[in-house]
Structure 1
């Protein structure tokens, strides 16, 4: 199998690449849509692992590009910002599975399953606590990490927001 890794997190890409190579897989990686286009014209891939959110680009656009250039390539979308809306959109665009980060190599490989055959995809809805955590993280990211501005945007007391941020994210 030849895997394509598309993620703007270089450390994650390198770690996943090493792990796949230890399992005997061939791996090529890129970190943005421009690099993706170059790789798609040079190499034929069996499987692609695509991040949903990159610096100023969307992995959803990458799914469309991969599907257009290499329709036989199975795609798994990884994201740190899992939501039902983006999961449905990724599946509609052609991903065979949608996984929240962190996901280990075995989970990612298993997500492909028999991906060349059409199979039912099971997407469990995240808990309310998880959705709240993701919403807070998204707003915090949009406001460049400014706690006070995030608290105002969420209509929440600053200390309450700090307590919520000090906790680990809720399980899906």
Structure 2
């Protein structure tokens, strides 16, 4: 897939959305922006065609994953990329099960987005062979529990058996990229 002609950007950070739209425009992409699910659903009804979509997963009380099914129902050939600030294998699996083509963690530049749109999700050669580090496993477990409780910190903390503030501190101290490397 070359640079998409028409792309939907679902991003609640207005500054990030503006920068991304400008960069995509330099690549010749007509980008339609929505800050929330309601705005994105209205755009889906108005757009005559859509080649790609970049969806922020966490939109305040909304979840960008909830747009994947209606988006693909209206535009079955649309390639969907999910962006999140808290990447985990569990969240990536949830996104791909719903129909996302690929999954990226923030910060992701336009080159990362365009590369992800072109990458074949079935390409297993890109998967690491070694097991993840303990820090990575802990981070992913926290993300799974948080996702299971729809992002509610208090409920997730209770399920994890830790204090809410402890969970908030752990979420702020996202493991460094070195912790994500395979041992």
Q: Which range, TM-score by smaller chain?
A: 0.7 to 0.9
Q: What RMSD in Å do the two structures reach over aligned CA positions?
A: 3.1
Measure the CA separation in 1 of the matches of 2:50 and 2:119: 16
2:172 pairs with 1:170 = no
Q: In the aligned structure 2, how far is the partner of 1:114 from the partner of 1:12?
A: 23
How many angstroms does 1:166 deviate by? 8.1
Change (3 A) 1:92 1:129: same
Answer whether contact 1:83 1:131 (CA < 8 A) is retained.
no
Range moving further from structure 2, 120-129 or 82-91: 120-129
For 2:135 and 2:92, locate their aligned partners in 1 and report how far apart those are by CA, in whole Å: 18
Aligned partners of 2:127, 2:55: CA distance in 1, in Å?
17
For residues 42 and 93 of structure 1, the distance between their equivalents in structure 2, rounded to whole angstroms, comes to: 23
CA–CA separation in structure 2 for the residues paired with 1:22 and 1:46: 17
Counterpart for residue 40 of structure 1: 44
**How far does the alpha carbon of each residue in 1:134-155 deviate from its partner, in whole angstroms, 9 at most, with x for none?**
749x6xx8559xxxxx8xx874
Which of 102, 109, 134 is equivalent to 2:107?
102
Determine if contact 1:63/1:94 at 8 Å carries over to the other structure. Answer: yes
- How many residues align? The count is 158
* 1:54-93 mapped onto 2 (5 Å cutoff): 54-93=59-98
Q: Where do residues 1-172 of structure 1 align in structure 2 (5 Å cutoff)?
A: 1-43=5-47, 44-113=49-118, 119-120=122-123, 122=126, 127-130=133-136, 132=138, 135=142, 142=152, 155=162, 169-171=175-177, 172=180
* SS class of match (1:5): strand
Unaligned runs of 5+ in 1: 145-149
Q: Structure 1 residues 58 and 102 mapped into 2: Cα distance closer, same or farther (>3 Å)?
A: same
Cα deviation digits, residues 94-121 of structure 1 (max 9, x gap): 1111111111110110001166xx7436
Distance 1:88 1:155, change over 3 A: closer
Partner secondary structure for residue 104 of structure 2: strand
Give the TM-score of the pair, scaled to structure 1.
0.75
Deviation per CA, 1:12-66: give whole Å up to 9, x if none: 1111111111112111110111111110111121010011111111111111121
- Structure 2 unaligned segments of length 5 or more: list them: none
